[in-house]
Structures are given as C-alpha cells and as structure tokens.
Amino acid sequence: MSKTLQKLTATRKWISYIDDERSTGNSIIVTLQKGWEFADDPNCGVQGFDNVSHAELGTRKDCVKWVKVYL
C-alpha cells in the first residue's frame, strides 16, 4: 500500500480499512468505520476509487458523514 493510503488510514478516524486491489485490475476499496457513510451514497460505507488522488479526495471530512447507529 502506498504511503499516502497508509497516511489516510492513520489520520482519518472514519476510515476502517483501505484495500489497494489495482494490481489485480480492480480499484482502491475504502471501508468506513461503523456508523459512517459516504455523503454521496447514503447507507454505503464502502466505495472504490480509481487512483490514490481520488481516494484522498473522496474520503475528506466533507465527503463522509456520521449517522446514528441503531442496534
């Protein structure tokens, strides 16, 4: 995993895991922590990004939101 992706995981508390699957022809898969979702895709906590720049931009604080979790 690139240093930038490692930094995103370490500094953005809403990111649970990043899986860089580009070597197998897929994308960079970002999984958010429980209770977080992508602002442009309600109820979705997983998104794929084509490159590191898109992953960095797509996981900014204004691109995610905290939602109340009901157990």
Residue 22: strand, helix, or coil = helix
Instruction: Give me the pLDDT at residue 47, please.
Output: 98
Q: What is the pLDDT tens value at each position of the chain, 71 positions in all? A: 899 999 999 999 999 999 999 999 999 999 999 999 999 999 999 999 999 999 999 999 999 999 977 66
**Residue 66 and residue 6: Cα distance in Å, rounded?**
22
Residue 64 has a CB neighbour count (10 Å cut-off) of 22
pTM: 0.92
Element (H, E) at 15: strand 15-20
* DSSP per-residue string spanning 42-68: TT--EEEESSHHHHHHHTSGGGEEE-P
Residue ranges covered by each domain of the chain: 3-66
Residue 39 has a CB neighbour count (10 Å cut-off) of 14
